[in-house]
Chain A
């Protein structure tokens, strides 16, 4: 009935999350920057798996690569794999409490960044240092905040 309504909210929030990557960060502290774009994508997949899926993940990955200046498609693969996992388990993950869900998100983030590292190895590009794991933890810590913010947004604009 109200299909395709307010879908701009989804793309706007993903766009804003990408803009977060552009904010200046000291060179040595970039590893701890939370990956807001990926978390936003995970939220929308979890909330509206019939609207946001692998295609969105693909294009978000392209966006990330263009911003980073890395080979195009490098981030897409990891995002698409984790979105697939998320889509096949969304009903279960929705039932988890905060801590369990955060841990699940951590696993998905590790899957995302793990596939990216694997591709980087294949392309003989430098991979993340071990310190990069801190970034995964800081992203995980942001999950509940992002979830609540986007949930408010989704309810206010009645995105479905």
Chain B
């Protein structure tokens, strides 16, 4: 019932929001030709740079795969991305849940990670045929295994219920973690593949006499801004879990 509801609610939302969308399109259509040409130029340049970088990435990936083969460790996971748009935010103020416009028919499944432009945003929790719901990493019922990129220290980053804060509790006070450290997914648990940027540490509080430090981090992705997201679909072998 809830799965059908995802689709029905999304359809009704799009009808309710149709005037807003139409207005946006009108504004976009009225953008001058010059602006658009400039933007195309900028995007082409950006695309060239990205393509250049991805060439290197391909080489690195295959190199990495060879090393891993030598070490006989888990097979490298080949990630495929589904581009989606955030169409709505759940009205439930206690949760950080968004609706995206891709569903089972597009290959979206429960548990798949959702990425923003810069880093990890959340994961899919409910799928309909053409729409899905995803929970953001800052939801206070969400937690994910992370790793400090610099030192390799593993931790669990919990959602705080605030859109710009993640918390790491239960980290020994002497741990090697500093303000400015990048937290990436550690791949433990098998839900999120490793190596995706998650957050940056903004505060490490060690209270006098306490055994644990309280670490606060700010998500890399602007979770409350932007419409375009990517859903990660794993295709080749899931060696991480074996």
Contacts and interface: CB of A to CB of B under 8 A. Distances in A.
B13 interface: yes
Contact of A72 (B1, B91, B92, B93): B1
A21 B16 CA distance: 11
Contact of B223 (A24, A27, A66, A70): A27
A154 B109 CA distance: 46
Residue from the set B2, B13, B92 with the largest chain A CB neighbour count within 10 Å: B92
Contact of A129 (B6, B17, B161): B161
A126 B94 contact: yes
B6 A25 contact: no
Contacts of A26: 224
B96 A27 contact: yes
A129 B94 contact: yes
Interface string A102-141: 0000000000000000001000011111001001000000
Contacts of A159: none
A127 B71 CA distance: 47
A69 B223 CA distance: 19
Contact of B133 (A28, A69, A135): A69
The interface size bin for chain B is: 20 to 34
Interface magnitude class on chain A: 20 to 34
A22 B91 contact: yes
A31 interface: yes
A67 interface: yes
Contacts of B88: 22, 24
Contacts of B20: 24
Given A28-B224, A126-B139, A126-B141, A66 B9 contact: yes
A126 B140 contact: yes
A62 B38 CA distance: 50
Interface centre among A28, A72, A120, A127 (most CB of B within 10 A): A28
The winner among B88, B126, B223 for most chain A CB atoms within 10 A is B88
Contacts of B91: 21-22, 25, 30, 33, 67-68
A23 interface: yes
A20 B113 CA distance: 30
A76 to B, nearest CB: 14
B92 A22 contact: no
A153 interface: no
B87 to A, nearest CB: 9
**Shortest beta-carbon contacts, A-B, top 4:** A126-B140, A68-B92, A30-B93, A66-B5
Interface of A: 19, 21-28, 30-31, 33, 66-70, 72, 120, 125-129, 132, 135
Interface of B: 1-2, 5-6, 8-9, 12-13, 16-17, 20, 88-97, 126, 133, 139-141, 161, 163, 223-224
